[in-house]
């Protein structure tokens, strides 16, 4: 399993869970320290893992990471596109650089990793791709036009790829979480003028009365990666 965004949050939880289910993990992240810590945690529990420091918004670095994973484990059966970043600004105040960065990291990265993992999957007529979207790809929240656009793009890309590669035995699904207790969202709270009020508003949005955990999302991502979901493709699990 090739897991992007492995260094923290949802990516870390998915890498740990998939490793616990027996997958060898090719973990990729731009955060060298966090990625190595995640890899060491997996190894301490007897898992097989290769960490590669790479910017998944760079095609050359994605290609090198995929090649390293193939050298280490021989194949990639599962691609988990988890990486994602966010910042806040309304559309009329957004800098073009911020727009481009969010789209490159959140959406273009998923195209690039898929592009370079798919040839091996096509050769074997087998594979599962799990993309991390967001409820913001389905409904709008103020202050995140670039983030919402990237996540909506992920959902559309998922459905298009599912249609295109179904006949080749490759399934493509995505997960659209609500608000999750991740380092990314902790940073959003820290930037807020009133973190407690913002957190309370987040909790109120969720009928279950709490924020999600990275493990909650990892559990949701596991099913579409398994053979038990062999007749499921093009779906968005909210």
What is the rounded CA–CA span in Å between residue 66 and residue 29? 13
Helix-helix angle 214-225:9-20, to 10 degrees: 50
> 130 near 173, Cβ under 8 Å?
yes
- Is 147 a catalytic site residue? yes
> 128 near 79, Cβ under 8 Å?
yes
- Active-site choice (144, 147, 165, 223): 147
What is the rounded CA–CA span in Å between residue 222 and residue 130? 9
Residues designated as active site: 147
């Amino acid at each position: 399993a090739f897991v992007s965004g492995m260094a923290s949050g949802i990516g870390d939880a998915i890498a740990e869970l998939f490793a616990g289910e027996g997958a060898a993990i090719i973990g990729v992240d731009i955060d060298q320290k966090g990625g190595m810590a995640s890899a060491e945690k997996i190894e301490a529990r007897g898992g097989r893992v290769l960490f590669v420091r790479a910017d998944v918004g760079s095609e050359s670095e994605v290609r090198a990471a995929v090649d390293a994973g193939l050298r280490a484990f021989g194949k990639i059966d599962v691609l988990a596109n988890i990486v994602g970043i966010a910042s806040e600004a309304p559309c009329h105040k957004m800098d073009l650089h911020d727009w481009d960065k969010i789209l490159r990291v959140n959406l273009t990265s998923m195209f690039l990793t898929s592009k370079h993992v798919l040839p091996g999957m096509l050769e074997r007529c087998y594979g599962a791709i799990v993309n991390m979207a967001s409820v913001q790809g389905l409904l709008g929240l103020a202050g995140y036009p670039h983030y919402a656009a990237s996540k909506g793009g992920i959902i559309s890309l998922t459905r298009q790829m599912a249609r295109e590669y179904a006949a080749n035995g490759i399934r493509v699904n995505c997960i659209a979480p609500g608000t999750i207790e991740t380092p990314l969202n902790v940073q959003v709270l820290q930037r807020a003028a009133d973190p407690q009020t913002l957190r309370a508003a987040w909790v109120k949005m969720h009928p279950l009365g709490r924020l999600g955990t990275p493990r909650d999302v990892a559990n949701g991502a596991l099913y579409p990666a398994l053979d038990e979901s062999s007749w499921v493709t093009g779906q968005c699990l909210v």
